């Protein structure tokens, strides 16, 4: 019979900490995606979505859609993000 070779001992404790934090974060993200709406509903924080044709209001944000672009803005009307539709058609 052959004697089994001993496995090397892992000396890097930062690796275990990194993996633990990463897996905990991934698990929390998945649980949030699965149960986030139910928890918000239990706490009484339902998200209000208003659809006015080309303008859609979701919570504190507004999405305006025109022929050429889509504009995301905050409650004060300041534009946060603009997507130019023509760049996707080229």
| H, E, C per residue of 12-47 | CHHHHHHHHHHHHHHHHHHHHHHHHHHHHHHCCCCC
> Which among 76, 44, 79, 71 has a CA at the least distance from the CA of 60?
76
pLDDT of residue 25: 93
Question: Is pTM, for the whole model, over 0.75?
Answer: no
pLDDT of residue 10: 66
Contact 90, 79 (CB under 8 A): no
pLDDT of residue 27: 92
The residue ranking higher by pLDDT, 56 or 23, is 23
Structure tokens given for 65: 């859609």
Mean pLDDT of all residues in 60-66: 84
Contact 34, 27 (CB under 8 A): no
């Amino acid at each position: 019979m052959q004697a089994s070779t001993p496995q090397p001992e892992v000396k890097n404790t930062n690796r275990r900490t990194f993996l633990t934090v990463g897996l905990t974060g991934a698990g929390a993200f998945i649980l949030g995606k699965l149960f986030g709406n139910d928890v918000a509903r239990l706490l009484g924080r339902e998200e209000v979505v208003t659809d006015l044709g080309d303008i859609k209001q979701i919570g504190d944000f507004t999405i305006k859609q025109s022929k050429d672009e889509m504009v995301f803005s905050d409650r004060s009307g300041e534009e946060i993000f603009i997507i130019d539709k023509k760049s996707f058609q080229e």
